């Protein structure tokens, strides 16, 4: 369990660093050098990959809710980093909303059961496959959206889907078998969810404040997959923690709703 916590915290820090790099890359985009060719964006993708590896390791030891809620700490970390590096000022409402998100995620993390259920049946693959198809269609529709929060929400669902796909992968007693992994639908679902997440997250960063995008993205990434894991993969809420769990959900959801309507969001260039 301790090893899972260590890797989850490492993933949280790496996610924050990746977001900062990718956000800065969006301000340097030109017609001759689009976002995909920006060095900082590419470096951000590499850091994202390292964060994903840490998340995968953590998910082998902890339930989805526990891992995702720890990753939620990137909300506060990113807000502090943005303020320190670029001097970006958030409104009082934004700060309160981000605080509500963080408190809500702490309650959700505390409510997560300590035992990690093993495996998943084919129903999980079917549900995840349908979900991926829907998200891909929504991504196409929202790709040119002027607003950041819908894109951040879809990005959260995309990256959250990767965690569920990881949990759906069956690993034999002898450890990783490349041939066996390639024969499992969950492996390809994982790649599909990751692509949806990275595309929509990059678009959201080009349209909204990094702190707000991170908050909407992270809460969605934690709450929705966590609820799905309870119903689909057998994760459970700790005994006696139903009330704090519900309060955490309400706080996190309220924070996201407030941030979605925030005046700090923009439809133009990055503001610092």
- Does 267 fall in a domain? no
Number of domains forming the structure of the chain: 1
Q: What is the pLDDT of residue 156?
A: 93
- Does 186 fall in a domain? yes
Q: What is the pLDDT of residue 199?
A: 93
Question: pLDDT tens-digit profile of 210-248?
Answer: 778 888 888 888 788 878 888 887 777 788 888 998 898
- According to DSSP, residue 87 is labeled -
Three-state SS string over the chain comes to CHHHHHHHHHHHHHHHHHHHHHHHHHCCCCCCCCHHHCHHHHHHHHHHHHHHHHHHHHHCCCCHHHHHHHHCCHHHHHHHHHHHHHCCCCCHHHHHHHHHHHHHHHHHHHHECCCCCCCCCHHHHHHHHHHHHHHHHHHHHHCCCCCHHHHHHHHHHHHHHHHHHHHHCCCECCECCHHHHHCCHHHHHHHHHHHHHHHHHHHHHCCCCHHHHHHHHHHHHHHHHHHHHHHHHCCCECCCCHHHHHHHHHHHHHHHHHHHCCCCCCCCCCCC
Helix axes 148-168, 64-71, angle to 10 degrees: 140
- Token digits of residue 263: 């005046």
- Does 192 fall in a domain? yes
Q: What is the pLDDT of residue 36?
A: 78
- Does 268 fall in a domain? no
Q: What's the predicted TM-score (pTM) here?
A: 0.77
Residues 6 or more apart whose CB falls under 8 angstroms from that of 173 comprise none
- Does 272 fall in a domain? no
Q: Which domain holds residue 148?
A: 2-260
Which residues lie across from 172 on neighbouring strands? 175
- Does 266 fall in a domain? no
Question: pLDDT tens-digit profile of 45-77?
Answer: 899 889 988 988 888 787 777 787 788 777 777
- According to DSSP, residue 172 is labeled B
Cα 45 to Cα 152: distance, rounded to the nearest angstrom? 17
- Does 269 fall in a domain? no
One pLDDT digit (tens) per residue for the chain, 272 residues: 678 889 988 998 998 898 889 888 888 888 788 877 889 989 998 998 899 889 888 887 877 777 877 887 777 777 778 777 777 677 788 788 888 888 888 888 788 766 555 556 678 889 999 999 999 999 999 999 988 989 999 999 999 999 889 888 876 656 667 777 888 898 999 999 999 999 999 899 888 877 788 888 888 887 888 788 888 877 777 888 889 988 988 888 788 777 766 655 444 343 44
């Amino acid at each position: 369990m301790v090893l899972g916590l260590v890797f989850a915290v490492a993933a949280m820090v790496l996610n924050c660093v990746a977001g900062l790099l990718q956000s800065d890359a969006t301000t340097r985009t030109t017609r001759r050098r689009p976002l995909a060719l920006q060095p900082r964006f590419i470096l951000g993708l590499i850091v994202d990959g390292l964060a994903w590896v840490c998340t995968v390791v953590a998910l082998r030891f902890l339930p989805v809710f526990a891992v995702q809620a720890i990753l939620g700490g990137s909300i506060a970390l990113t807000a502090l980093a943005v303020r320190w590096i670029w001097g970006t000022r958030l409104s009082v409402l934004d700060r309160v909303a981000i605080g509500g998100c963080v408190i809500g995620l702490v309650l959700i993390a505390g409510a997560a059961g300590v035992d990690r259920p093993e495996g998943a049946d084919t129903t999980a693959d079917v549900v995840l496959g349908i979900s991926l198809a829907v998200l891909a269609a929504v991504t196409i529709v929202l790709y040119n959206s002027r607003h950041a929060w819908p894109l951040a929400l879809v990005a959260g669902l995309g990256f959250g889907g990767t965690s569920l796909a990881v949990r759906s992968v069956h690993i034999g007693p002898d450890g990783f078998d490349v041939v066996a992994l390639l024969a499992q639908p969950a492996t390809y679902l994982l790649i599909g969810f990751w692509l949806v997440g990275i595309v929509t997250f990059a678009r959201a960063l080009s349209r909204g404040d990094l702190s707000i995008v991170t908050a909407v993205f992270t809460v969605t990434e934690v709450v929705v997959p966590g609820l799905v894991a309870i119903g689909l993969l057998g994760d459970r809420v700790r005994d006696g923690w139903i009330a704090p769990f519900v309060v955490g959900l309400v706080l996190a959801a309220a924070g996201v709703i407030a941030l979605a309507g925030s005046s700090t969001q923009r439809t133009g260039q990055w503001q610092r």
